[in-house]
Every structure is written in C-alpha cells, then in structure tokens.
Amino acid sequence: MKNSISTKNINSFKNTYNSEPQHKITRNALTQSKIQDVAMNWDAFSLINHEFSDVVDGEMKKVTNQKQSGRCWGFAGLNLMRIALSKKYKLKQFEFSQNYFMFWDKLEKSNYFLENIIKTLDETRDSRIVMHLVSNPIEDGGQWDMFVNLIEKYGIVPQTVMPESYHSSQSGMMNRLITRKLREYAWILREMHSKGKKIDKLRAEKEKMLETVYSMLCVHLGTPPEKFDWQVRNKDKEFERFEGITPQQFYTEFVDINLKDKICLINCPMDDKKYDELYTIQYLGNVIEGQIVKYINLTSEQLKEYAIKSIKDGEGVWFGCDVGKMFHQKLGIMDMDLYDFDLLYKTEFKMDKAKRLEYGDSLMTHAMLLTGVDIKNGKSLKWRVENSWGDKIGDKGYHLMSDKWFDEYLYEIVIDKKYLSKEVLEIHDRKPIELASWDPMGALAK
C-alpha cells in the first residue's frame, strides 16, 4: 500500500467486509442497539453474584452520590473514614461533608497553582510544563496524599453541618470561572516578573488573588464552619450530643483512623517504571506544606495480598482504577469476560496493561472503596466495591469487580502500614523518582 488510500484499496476493504456474513448481522444489531448490549457475554453475565466470603463490618447500607462532579477520590476517602466512625458510634447511616472537603481543596489547589506559576517564571509561556499547569488548575480530581493533606490541615465535619450546594454537585461552571480567573492571575504574575518585580511582591499580589478565590468559593459552596454541634442516635437507640466541636477535633477525637499511617501502592508495569521502587509526580499536589504524592510500585498479586489483609481485618481499601473499561454501569459489573468485543468485530484487541498505559488507551479515571472479597481455596475470585454514584446502579450502589479486572484496570490502592512488609516500608523511606506531570499515574487528579 502507498502512503495514501486509493480506490483500489477501498474496493479491497469492501470486498473483505462483504465476504464475512457476520458483519451484516453485527451491523444490523449495532445500528439499533448499544455496543455493550450486543457484545454482552451471556456466560459471564449469568455468573453475576453479589455474595462475598469476607465483607468489612460497618459498611453503610446507603451509598453516597457525587453527582455531576469529579470528587470520587474525596468521596472514597470519606467513605473509608465513615466506616471507622460508624463502628465507634454504632451508626446506621452517616455522611461526612463532601462540600467542606471540596471547599478547602479548591482553595489549596489555587495556591498550589499560583506557586507553581511562580516556580516556572523562567519557562517560556508556551513550554509544555506551563501549558500543562494552566490546562486544569483546579479540576475536581485528586490523589490519596492530597486527601490526607486536606483532612490533616482542615479536619472534617458531618454533612448536616455543611450540606451539598448546587455547585458542589454540579461543579462544571464554578470550575470554569475560577479557572478563568487563575489563568488571568498566571498572566499577571508572569508580567510582573518580566518587569523585574521581586518574589515578595508577587506573593503579596498572590494573597489578594486568593482572597478573590476564597470569595468565589463561598458564594458557590457556602462558608466552612469553624465550630459545630453534633447529635446522633445509634443502632441501640441511644442518644448523644456533642457541642462546640472544631473540624480538626472531629477528625482527631471522633474518628479512630490515622490517615498518615496509610501508604499508596500502585501496579504500573510500564517499561519506564520498575517494581519495588518509589515514585512521585512533578507539580502534583494541593497543600504546599503537606506531604508529597508518593507511590510504591508492586505486582498486582502483592496489591491483592495487602487488600485481603485489610478487608479481613475490617478495613476498607481506597483504590484508583480505569472505571470505564469492560464495565457495565447499570449492572455495576467490572469483568474482563463481560463483553465479547473480539468476536463482535472479528479482530483481537492485543494490548496488555503496560501497552494500554504507554499508548494512552488507559489511565486512572475513578476512585472507589473495596469493602469485600470472595475467597475460595485461598484465592480471590471477585471484589465488592462501594461506589459514589448513588444507589440506582449495581447492588444498591455496590459494584462487583472480577479478579481478572483487578489485574488489568486497577492501578492503585491505599494500605495501612501495619499490613505491609518491612521491605515495602523501607521502600517508602527512599527518595522518590520523579515522573512527569502528565504521567498516567497522576491522571486521577485531573
């Protein structure tokens, strides 16, 4: 074949297509139906079963709903924390304020962005890093260490104290307008630098900029409380009232969980990454003085081993994955055998996990919580997943992940230090290798 498509090529393509009767059947089906419905593998569908050998005690009956926002990482983190709170206070149902968490994340991301603009003042305006920074300065996404930074600094509050607003649940326009302002501020800071203004002058200007961002957040989300009262009736119908609590107190005194003891593990088999190594992402974070994003790269089998230990001991497992692949949203099923795409198109999709990452076919898009696992003869078969998309899908909002899907599309889990080996803990103490800002392991923050 030459470098362009000829009439002869097209006729050959057409003859090949017409020579296969299955293509006509497939066309007739796909012109009238969704690909997922046509490609559904009945053998896999018929095996769907939402019973598990091990489920975390304290799992909530009612799942949360992030609605039209990208706060999955925060929802998953708060869902992990509410399990600990529910055990301590014997609660039937509870939610932390995802709006409160979101407010401080947006403010801290704005400061982080402006500091990165200051850090890159000598880069050209059209450099790859500056263009990357201004592309999405305060998107809803985030990573585990960013979640820890916010809770450690600002604490948490019940949802009743700072409930959802329209724009916390529908964040698009708020993000767009604050982003527009931040890009304007990036231009102003770079202009000031080009005119010889010193860093102290730039930071003084930055403070005024953040004052405006704070006001914009208040009008969209409300003003975060400094103190609040909390009253609750537990499963035994016992009533308790607590008064004058600060958000920091609510975290440190009411929730039996130490977020700083939890470590992020990834499974990333790309050619440019090694197992048993520590990584970080350049220019990825929110709280300037907080801990940096760090990942230990391990095999998928190691991730499963540590996830099982956590679940068996009653702890949920925060994780990041590529949720849109081999997934049926209504059924809440993540299964590599769920669709017969190879059979449907009569072509084999050959990329493995590493190649999908390296060639842009997959990246982390969503965070959820593992709350159960089904084990037979010492091997995991499937996993129970608490999502944050409401209770109308899956098993009242809980999803099922097959063990094969875990291997192929789960990239990241968070495990408490007490479950990790000495060798893994030693890796976490190393100086991390820096990955580029656009590496797929940082995609969940976008």
* CATH value at residue 243: 3.90.70.10
Which pLDDT belongs to residue 446?
81
- Residue 171 included in any domain: yes
pLDDT digits (tens, 9 = 90+) for 358-415: 999 999 999 999 999 999 999 999 999 999 999 999 999 999 999 999 999 999 999 9
- Residue 17 included in any domain: no
In the 8-state DSSP scheme, what is residue 254?
A: I
Between CA 231 and CA 378 the distance in angstroms is 43
The catalytic residue among 149, 175, 286, 387 is: 387
Which pLDDT belongs to residue 42?
84
Q: Are 230 and 161 in contact (CB under 8 A)?
A: yes
- Residue 431 included in any domain: yes
- Residue 188 included in any domain: yes
The verdict on whether 3 is a catalytic residue reads no
- Residue 18 included in any domain: no
- Residue 9 included in any domain: no
Q: In terms of Cα–Cα distance, which of 310, 340, 297 is closest to 432? A: 297
Which pLDDT belongs to residue 335?
96
- Residue 434 included in any domain: yes
The catalytic residue among 167, 328, 366, 399 is: 366
Which pLDDT belongs to residue 46?
79
Domain with 228 in it: 54-445
pLDDT digits (tens, 9 = 90+) for 124-150: 999 999 999 999 999 999 999 999 999
Q: In terms of Cα–Cα distance, which of 402, 321, 441, 326 is closest to 369? A: 321
- Residue 164 included in any domain: yes
Give helix 128-135 / helix 98-119 axis angle, nearest 10°: 160
Torsion angles phi and psi, residue 319, rounded to 5? -150, 155
The verdict on whether 387 is a catalytic residue reads yes
Mean confidence (pLDDT) of the chain:
96
Which residue's entry shows tokens 């080009």? 194
The catalytic residue among 65, 72, 328, 399 is: 72
pLDDT (average), residues 300-322: 98
Which pLDDT belongs to residue 368?
98
Q: How many domains does the chain have?
A: 1
Other C-beta atoms closer than 10 Å to the C-beta of 108 total: 23
Reported confidence tier of residue 14, pLDDT bands at 50, 70, 90: very high
181's tokens: 């302002």
- Give the distance between the most distant pair of CA atoms in the chain: 81
The verdict on whether 268 is a catalytic residue reads no
